[in-house]
Structure 1
Amino acid sequence: MSGKHQPILLFLFICFVLLPGVAQAKTGDEDTLRKWAEIDGFRSAQFGMNERDVLKAIYQDFKIYRKDVSRFEHPTEKTVSLGIDVENLLPNSGPAKVFYILGHKSRQLIHVNVIWGRPATPKPDAEGVVGIANQLRNHFAQKSYQKEGLALNAQLSEDIILVFQGLDKKGRAVKLVLVNPKSDPKKVGENISLTLSYIEKPGRPDVFRIKDDDF
């Protein structure tokens, strides 16, 4: 297991559950004219792929060989993550980390996280990260989604903004979260991060769970 990805285990998995009760994006008649979103994975990596096929997809998309892909198992959820470092997923967007998460039982792709800012780079460009968030929000907002769970620029706390959240017809989710800790006014922006998540079954992830009869 590659040590460089271990400190962000917790951060990787906080995006499994869609957040209810957030401010919903407005929908109108124009929404019926938009094409429905189809959330089936990230680039060539499709939900349901096994590890070998995900590795092939990584090479197809980024020309990254298997030996350069980190692999680790989450200590409690028992999922397997394949991690890579990439540059400029969007023009001049800088470094990002991509994590492909395979389910506990299925060992198939169930979730993808793409991260900009910390920890993808030790000195993130806060303005650049916010710019990426705006670009992606505008891109996703061009499609139609289920009304339930649809959110746009929802302030979840002083430090966290749910920039976008939407579900396609099959209930698969795309979620964009901006985190900018403000505990120290002198360091605002130094630890900013943006996480884009594609989730096959939000609220019902294939992770290890304690059985009712075990305790």
Structure 2
Amino acid sequence: MRRLRCVTRGLLACALAWPVAATCATKGDEIALTGQPRSWDVQGVPFEADGFQGARWGMTMDEVKAAIATAWPDALATAKVQVDDAARTTALAVTVPTLAPGPGPAQVSYVFGAASHRLVAVHQTWTLPGNPDAVQRAALLRAATTLASDLVGYQWPDFATTRGRVTAPGELILFAGRDFHGGGVEIRVGGVALDVELPGAVRKQEHRAAPAGPAHLRKSLVADIDHPDIYTIPPGAF
């Protein structure tokens, strides 16, 4: 496996992982090098989003519970079922005491489709509540960089990834990609300081302090970006 060292410059392409709205980066988007990995291993194989820790796309909730029990025997005691009334999806969320590379406990949410009732997405979320200090926020950002570095070395379809997109004050998509089978992954961090490149003929950099309040890191994996198993209003319903 060959070690590649580089410094990333700007957005590479576009593709956001559902349930984030699929939008492409434009020349007017603000970008940031904040948290971008400077080196990574070249995997030499395509990335494939196929599930998480033994839970695979298409599994029933009972099958996912069995996978959770194998990965984290005590996690099922924290399980909560959450229903999205708009999308008509159901999520099974568990709390994991430690989940690398994030600091502290993480919530893992397994989403089951509206029609199939089978696993279609997994979200891993690390949250720093209250108003964490700069050291804590930096640790969260380092974890986000580690997650991104695990992804950039894979093979991706042309124009199927985006990096460094600023989506809100203190919020950044470090990496999002669509694999060759239509699955997706996204690394998103919020509540951190950003060094932003402002759009324009000559790009200028601006440092922005982290906003007050909690910080979070989320890794999302989805089975099918273009055809998410969520409820949509039938044509002619109104």
TM-score by length of 2: 0.72
Alpha-carbon distance, 1:123 to partner: 5.4
1:140 alignment counterpart? 151
After superposition, the Cα gap between the structure-2 partners of 1:47 and 1:92, relative to the gap in structure 1 and judged at 3 Å, is closer
1:3 alignment counterpart? none
1:37 alignment counterpart? 47
2:221 alignment counterpart? 198
Alpha-carbon distance, 1:187 to partner: 7.0
| Higher strand fraction (1 or 2) | 2
2:24 alignment counterpart? 20
Instruction: Extract structure 1 runs of 4+ deviating beyond 4 A.
Output: 121-124
Residues 37-116 of structure 1: matches in 2 within 5 Å? Answer: 37-64=47-74, 66-90=76-100, 93-116=103-126
TM-score by length of 1: 0.79
Paired residue total:
193
Larger Rg: 2
Show structure 2 runs of 5+ residues with no match: 1-16, 32-40, 194-207
Q: Percent identity?
A: 21
Alpha-carbon distance, 1:92 to partner: 6.7
CA RMSD of aligned residues (A): 2.9
Show structure 1 runs of 5+ residues with no match: 1-12, 25-30
Confirm or deny: 8 A CA contact 2:18 2:184 kept in the other structure.
no
**Larger relative contact order, structure 1 or 2 (CA cutoff 8 Å, min sep 6):** 2
| Higher helix fraction (1 or 2) | 1
C-alpha deviations, 1:55-109, integer Å up to 9, x for none?
Answer: 1111111113645311121121110000011122115721111100000000000
2:3 alignment counterpart? none
Confirm or deny: 8 A CA contact 1:181 1:191 kept in the other structure.
no
1:177 aligns with 2:188: yes
